[in-house]
Amino acid sequence: MKRPSGAALLLILFAAATVMMPLLAPAAGAAGRDYISIVGSSTVYPFATVVAERFGKTTKFKTPKVEATGSGGGLKLFCSGIGVRYPDITNASRRIKKSEIDRCRANGVKEIIEIKIGYDGIVLANSRKAERMNISRKDIFLALAKDVPSGIGESLIPNPYKTWSDVNPALPDISIEVLGPPPTSGTRDAFAELALQGGCRKFGWIRAMKKTDKERYKAVCEAVREDGAYIEAGENDMLIVKKLEANPHAFGIFGFSFLDQNADRIQGSIIDGVEPTFENIASGRYPLARPLYFYVKKAHAEMIPGIKEYIREFTSEKAWGPEGYLIDKGLIPMPDSEREKFRSDGRSLRNFSM
């Protein structure tokens, strides 16, 4: 029998397993953590990662780990408790909710520092091969809502519009085809709130409903049509950009940084007469802009090395200032006074309350 015996082989493998395991594992192991753990919004991810990378390269601390879990998922992990197993910082493309603060409290996360980092614009864009669209929020609502006012009294009908010119004769005569993120996305939430609700409020009787029947108001204003005119294209914004290039009749919804990086292929539609440019979003004139945040656990600032320095890096002028490196990545900076407020909040680890 010249073959190696099976038993011997198995023994060798088991031996290898037992010998290799401790070799592979540096003594520290699971006990402590010497790097910052960051979770949260995929919209803030491109900015947080740049700061993390620079922070890791220019200080003695390790590079923080950044996960894109979505704003809601990030806050859920963040509020799960205190200790090295839980993340130190969560990014959010919306403000933390009351219910989330309560959840944090219940799990021992009593002190949270809130830092607003800047703004992000949401754009409705199409290929440069096609004409640029000049549209109002009301038209966006009529084109994309599930149910629209019938025009007779205060009643709703399922969205009958097939082409943009059906909605408003001034718009082009091409069929409505919009690629956008799925409901799990923060961008979709913000688009529904800013664009759809913004357009929806133009109907007086629906706006009046907000006071009487808030739930129905939200349902009417934020429901997106499901007959194929709005296409859920997944969380990958870059994919939407490529699809727009291939199909000049289609429009896409995504964050401003993608428009900024691909300005030679796509153009942003003018909304309520305002073009989505850096200046217009920063000045607050562009209607589809939202603030971006990150939240820090105060209890971890003493426990995990580098958290204070990370906040310092993020809130420094060379990062988020009007000429900082985050701006090159597509972040819209806050006015000086707001930057000053959040910088001092961050540096003094000021507990935030709603």
Partner 1 sequence: MIRNSHEARLELIKAGLKRRYAKEKIFRAVGISAITAALIMLAILFASITKNGYSAFQQTFIRLDIFFDSQVIDPDSTGDPTVLSQADYGGLVKKALRDMFPGVGKRREKRDLYSLVSPGAAFQLRKMVMDAPGLVGTRQAVWVPADDDIDMLVKGYIRAAGDGSGRISARKAAWVKSLVSKGAIEKRFNTAFFTGGDSREPELAGIGGAVAGSLYTMLVTLILSFPLGVATAVYLEEFAPKNIWTDIIEVNINNLAAVPSIVFGLLGLAVFLNFFGLPRSSPLAGGLVLTLMTLPTIIIASRVSLQSVPPSIREGALSVGASRMQAVMHHVLPLALPGMLTGTIIGMARALGETAPLLMIGMVAFIVDIPAGIFDKATVLPVQIYLWADSPERAFVERTSAAIIVLLAFLLIMNALAVVFRKKFEQRW
Q: Rule CB under 8 A: which residues touch partner 1?
A: 1, 3-7, 9-10, 13-14, 16-17, 20-21, 24-26, 28-30, 33, 35, 37, 42, 45-46, 48-50, 52-54, 56-57, 62-63, 65-68, 85, 128, 235-239, 257-258, 260-264, 267, 323, 325, 328-330
Smallest gap from Cβ 232 to partner 1, in A, equals 16
Would strands 289-297 and 112-127 be described as parallel, antiparallel, or unpaired?
antiparallel
Smallest gap from Cβ 159 to partner 1, in A, equals 30
Task: Please classify residue 87 by burial: count the beta carbons closer than 10 Å to its beta carbon, then call 0-12 exposed, 13-18 middle and 19+ buried.
Answer: buried
User: Could you tell me if 217 and 209 are in contact, meaning their C-beta atoms sit under 8 angstroms apart?
Assistant: yes
CB closer to partner 1, 107 vs 163 = 107
Distance CA 110, CA 99 (A): 14
Strands (DSSP E) along 87-180, which ranges? 89-92, 112-127, 134-135, 147-149, 156-158, 178-180
Distance CA 65, CA 72 (A): 18
CB closer to partner 1, 49 vs 90 = 49
Smallest gap from Cβ 136 to partner 1, in A, equals 24
Task: Please classify residue 198 by burial: count the beta carbons closer than 10 Å to its beta carbon, then call 0-12 exposed, 13-18 middle and 19+ buried.
Answer: buried
Task: Please classify residue 245 by burial: count the beta carbons closer than 10 Å to its beta carbon, then call 0-12 exposed, 13-18 middle and 19+ buried.
Answer: middle
Q: What is the dihedral of CA 168, 172, 175, 179, to 10 degrees?
A: -100
3-class DSSP state of 218: helix
Smallest gap from Cβ 337 to partner 1, in A, equals 23
CB closer to partner 1, 67 vs 272 = 67
3-class DSSP state of 122: strand
Smallest gap from Cβ 161 to partner 1, in A, equals 31
Contacts of 242 (CB under 8 A, 6+ apart): none
Smallest gap from Cβ 105 to partner 1, in A, equals 21
Geometric angle at alpha carbon 197, from 195 and 203, rounded to 5°: 115
CB closer to partner 1, 29 vs 169 = 29
CB closer to partner 1, 81 vs 291 = 81
CB closer to partner 1, 136 vs 257 = 257
CB closer to partner 1, 2 vs 211 = 2
CB closer to partner 1, 14 vs 205 = 14
Smallest gap from Cβ 155 to partner 1, in A, equals 42
Smallest gap from Cβ 219 to partner 1, in A, equals 30
Smallest gap from Cβ 72 to partner 1, in A, equals 15
DSSP H stretches of helix in 96-236: 98-106, 137-144, 164-167, 186-191, 197-200, 204-212, 214-222
DSSP-derived letter for residue 165 is H
CB closer to partner 1, 34 vs 302 = 34
